[in-house]
Structure 1
Amino acid sequence: MFNTEQGCQLTSRAFTQRLEVCGVEISMDGKGRALDNVFIERLWRSVKYEEMNLKSYASVAEAQRGLSCYFEVYNNRRRHQSLKRRTPSEVCEEGLKTAPPSGRTSQS
């Protein structure tokens, strides 16, 4: 997934088409919503300081294995203070249980 703001260089057809051809999902923050990026920036800060800066990967494959393990722990085992000591997976499951059926909103 590629998360970014809606700058003209990032929304151009040439740029987005290149991502789509590579199978990359595009996620863009709303116009004028500078704080939208705070959550993804915080995640990448954690990845950088807790995983990548501590390891010296010998290959891309080794980096992929290391990051897969990191995200497994981060999402499924690590309790987050900001999530009331729950894991992101627990919060996601809880949201799915309370979400309205697909295609319907709570106001329908």
Structure 2
Amino acid sequence: MIIERFWRTLKYENVYLLNYSTISKAREKIAEYIYFYNYKRPHASLNYKTPISVYMAGLEGVA
């Protein structure tokens, strides 16, 4: 269920808004968006934290 939500978000916040001129440009811009999604974009379901911050917090004390 989570991954389906990600694909919807990717399409509506990136793919449908941009007109990629080449496949390589599409790959580049989608990779940039995935970085943004995981490292910069706050998520309501994570109490407005980023996925990476939640992931890293989960690793504390594991090592």
TM over 0.5: yes
Structure 1 position 93 matched with structure 2 position 63: no
Bigger strand share: 1
The answer to which structure, 1 or 2, has the higher relative contact order (CA under 8 A, 6+ apart) is 2
TM-score (norm 2): 0.89
CA RMSD of aligned residues (A): 1.2
> Identity across aligned pairs (percent)?
37
Amino acid in structure 1 at the alignment position of 2:33? Y
Give how far 1:60 is off. Answer: 1.3
* Residue in structure 2 matching 1:65, options 22, 28, 37: 28
Deviation above 2 Å: which 4+ runs of structure 1?
Answer: none
Runs of 5+ unmatched residues, structure 2: none
Runs of 5+ unmatched residues, structure 1: 1-37, 102-108
Bigger helix share: 2
Indicate the structure (1 or 2) with the bigger Cα radius of gyration. 1
Count of paired positions: 63
Offset from partner CA, 1:24-60 (integer Å, 9 cap, x none): xxxxxxxxxxxxxx10000000001110011111111
Matches within 5 A, 1:37-52: 38-52=1-15
TM-score (norm 1): 0.54
